[in-house]
Amino acid sequence: MRSIVFLISLSLLFSTLITHVSASEEPFLKIRIEPLTIGGDLYSAALSQDRVVAVGRSGSVVIWGHDRLSIFSVSQSDLLSISCMERICVAVGAKGVVAEIDPHAETYRSYTVSQKDLSRAALSGGTAAIAARTEVLIYRLGGVISRTIDVGADVSSIT
């Protein structure tokens, strides 16, 4: 998973650093690589418009934006998966934790919606599908589980 986080952050870095000179000169690629050190493991990353949002150990959230890096914690439980739409992300993790994160305002709200570990999330509109072992939870923004579906097998992916 660290390689996914690295590739996404590297692609965002390259896309923001491409520079074209005036029309009279040939365009060129100017790359500036800066080291990034984060204390802790990151498990999942997603794009929210022009920002990369990653989540990981001990509820850590990392947001990379235009010349800005923000790191904060939204829970004591590990966050294992994140899914984003335009201005909102839903992260899920151990001990039933769900965090709604606005990466642009750098705000969040955390909820405990289950006793089970939540392993995957897929957000669409104001609703997310969340995997919890053999169940899929239908989650509405604001900390509400509207439905639980037992699929009878381990849920390894949600899209």
49-90 pLDDT per residue, tens: 999 999 999 999 999 988 889 999 999 999 999 999 989 999
For residue 144, give both structure tokens. 């509400």
In this prediction the pTM is 0.76
Residue 157 lies in a domain: no
Residue 82, number of CB atoms within 10 A of its CB: 27
Residue 155, in any domain of the structure: no
Q: Are 62 and 89 in contact (CB under 8 A)?
A: no
The two beta strands, 135-140 and 144-150, are antiparallel
Contact present, 129 and 121 (Cβ < 8 Å): yes
Residue 92 belongs to some domain of the structure: yes
61 in any annotated domain: yes
pLDDT the model gives residue 124: 96
Query: For residue 55, is it within any domain?
Result: yes
Which residue reads 């009878």 in tokens?
152
Tell me, what CATH number does 72's domain have? 2.130.10.10
Q: Is residue 158 part of a domain?
A: no
Q: Does residue 91 have a pLDDT over 70?
A: yes
The torsion of the CA quartet 94, 100, 102, 108, rounded to 10 degrees, works out to: -80
Q: Are 128 and 142 in contact (CB under 8 A)?
A: no
CA-wise closest residue to 37 among 14, 62, 20, 16: 62
Residue 45 lies in domain: 2-150
Q: Is residue 159 part of a domain?
A: no
Per the structure, the count of domains in the chain is 1
